[in-house]
Copies of this chain bind each other. A is one copy, B any other.
């Protein structure tokens, strides 16, 4: 069966995020000082070939832990869905 995954990876709360800080500091310069506390991570999409949804979720979790996220500095969350569910 064919599934899709959408993964969000963000710097752990409390850890410095220099890129987010730089954006936060510059938003007032373009008239957007109402926006604060910017944190920048990664958004990853991918396709999965697996027998069941549980298998698909296990594979995505493994990819996050082994390759996509750095568990020392980042947390991740993801959802797995079929093409039909994506259309809803």
Residues of A within 8 A of B (CB): 5-6, 8-10, 20, 23-24, 26-27, 30, 32, 34-50, 59-60, 62-63, 66-68
Can you list 23 A-B pairs with a CB-CB distance of less than 8 A? A6-B8, A8-B8, A9-B43, A20-B44, A24-B46, A26-B67, A27-B67, A30-B66, A32-B59, A32-B62, A34-B49, A34-B50, A34-B59, A35-B59, A36-B47, A36-B48, A37-B45, A37-B47, A39-B44, A40-B42, A40-B43, A40-B44, A42-B43
Q: Dominant SS at the A interface?
A: strand
Add 7 more A-B contacts to A8-B43, A27-B63, A32-B62 (CB < 8 A): A5-B35, A9-B43, A26-B67, A27-B67, A38-B44, A39-B46, A42-B43
